[in-house]
Amino acid sequence: MGSSGLGKAATLDELLSTCIEMFDDNGELDNSYLPRIVLLMHRWYLSSTELAEKLLCMYRNASGESCDEFRLKICYFMRYWILKFPAEFNLDLGLIRMTEEFREVASQLGYEKHVSLIDISSIPSYDWMRRVTQRKKISKKGKACLLFDHLEPIELAEHLTFLEHKSFRRISFTDYQSYVIHGCLENNPTLERSIALFNGISKWVQLMVLSKPTPQQRAEVITKFINVAKKLLQLKNFNTLMAVVGGLSHSSISRLKETHSHLPSEVTKNWNEMTELVSSNGNYCNYRKAFADCEGFKIPILGVHLKDLIAVHVIFPDWTEENKVNIVKMHQLSVTLSELVSLQNASHHLEPNMDLINLLTVTFGWGLDPSTFRHSRCIEEDFSHWLPLGQGDKTEPNSLILAKQLLCIGF
């Protein structure tokens, strides 16, 4: 975090004063990451409106020989906040009102330069971040089969990645915070929608395999999904990759012994490699290494990183006994949250067909009929004796087990 001299704990006022003093007379910041960490993480401790109110109070009450200099640095800090987190100044009405009040105070005190530094009039609209649209229902499942049959693996992977990124980039800091603190999706529709997309893709994979009447045709569908998974890996879309692999690992698919006998050895090898990549072994060490090695646009396995946030939250208290911010915890949380936020802003070069996107979106909203698992037993009945005692229809889908391990949520 740079040389802040704050140690392991500090009051909010101490944190803010330290951040403000890190700006020089020209508004330049040294190499310290502390201002960005504080501005990213402040909502863990107080609202954005309350933070702006604190800064305004410090601005009003500044006195002494260095009064002008200190007030200017406060405005530099405000400008830095606006530049690094512009969405907050478009979506948070309380913060918008407080910023306007700040400008009025600066103007009344005769600091016109300060007024221009904290101008938010040119910030674009981020209204798309808070809109959660309702999916239209579609009645003909045949459309999904046609959709799957006529698209190449790269086309499917690209459109799935577009959908995944669209869902991922809408998740806000407060969505992450709410889930980590409360451990549930209540009043968290954006994160809930993201998880629903994950499960919807996983179930769609199962449905496409089981919709085919012969083992050879089912093997061809599995082969195609393995090729989709390979393309997803090339696109660095790890979340959808896990959903696809999870769907193929579902008990209703894994029990199809005759279908598996039709898979080429190379496909089986690729499948095993993909499964190992997203395995939970070693705290997802294979995924973490692959993810860290990727640069630029990439989509994380969201559940793994939520798990990391929960672990930090459980281990460390927010405040120390002296009612000071636990800087160690703040820094640990910021490592994960900063990466998630930065990845949401990464741009892609995908050019999707929006009609296809709409069809995929409604397709993933179906869910599986409970008879799907019984249907799986019927189409290859001779395989039922191979299952261990107590498994079969009651076996929980592997993809959902994966999701529960990651998110601690009952789907």
Q: Which domains does the chain have, with CATH numbers?
A: 10-130 (1.20.870.10), 143-383+391-407 (1.10.840.10)
Q: How far apart are CA 252 and CA 395, in angstroms?
A: 9
* Phi/psi of residue 91, nearest 5 degrees: -100, -25
Q: How far apart are CA 197 and CA 169, in angstroms?
A: 13
User: Cβ(198)–Cβ(403) under 8 Å?
Assistant: yes
Looking at residue 383, its pLDDT comes to: 39
Other Cβ atoms within 10 Å of 107 Cβ, number? 12
DSSP annotation of 8: T
pLDDT digits (tens, 9 = 90+) for 286-341: 999 999 999 999 999 999 999 999 999 999 999 998 899 999 999 999 999 999 99
Whether residue 353 is predicted with pLDDT greater than 60 in this model: the reply is yes
Whether residue 407 is predicted with pLDDT greater than 60 in this model: the reply is no
Looking at residue 345, its pLDDT comes to: 86
pTM assigned to the model:
0.86
**What is the rounded average pLDDT of the residues 223-240?**
98
Residues 6+ apart with CB under 8 A from 194: 167, 168, 170, 171, 302
Whether residue 375 is predicted with pLDDT greater than 70 in this model: the reply is no
Q: Which residue has the tokens 């999707």?
A: 352
Beta bridge partners of 9: 326
Q: Which of 39-53, 129-143, 379-393 has the lowest mean pLDDT?
A: 379-393
Share of residues in the chain with pLDDT > 90 (%) = 72
Q: How far apart are CA 166 and CA 216, in angstroms?
A: 35
- Bigger pLDDT: 134 vs 199: 199
Nearest to 147 by CA among 221, 251, 218: 221
Containing 9, the helix (H) or strand (E) segment is strand 9-10
Residues 6+ apart with CB under 8 A from 202: 243, 244, 246, 247, 250, 397, 399, 400, 403
3-state SS string over 91-119? HCHHHHHHHHHHHHHHHHCCCHHHHHHCC
* Per-residue confidence band for 370, with pLDDT thresholds at 50, 70 and 90: low
**What is the rounded average pLDDT of the residues 1-24?**
87
Q: How far apart are CA 66 and CA 76, in angstroms?
A: 15
* Per-residue confidence band for 149, with pLDDT thresholds at 50, 70 and 90: confident
Looking at residue 87, its pLDDT comes to: 94
Q: How far apart are CA 369 and CA 109, in angstroms?
A: 67
3-state SS string over 316-345? CCCECCCCCEEHHHHHHHHHHHHHHHHHHC
Looking at residue 279, its pLDDT comes to: 96
Share of residues in the chain with pLDDT > 70 (%) = 84
* Phi/psi of residue 29, nearest 5 degrees: -110, 140
Looking at residue 388, its pLDDT comes to: 40
Residues 6+ apart with CB under 8 A from 86: 120, 123, 124, 126
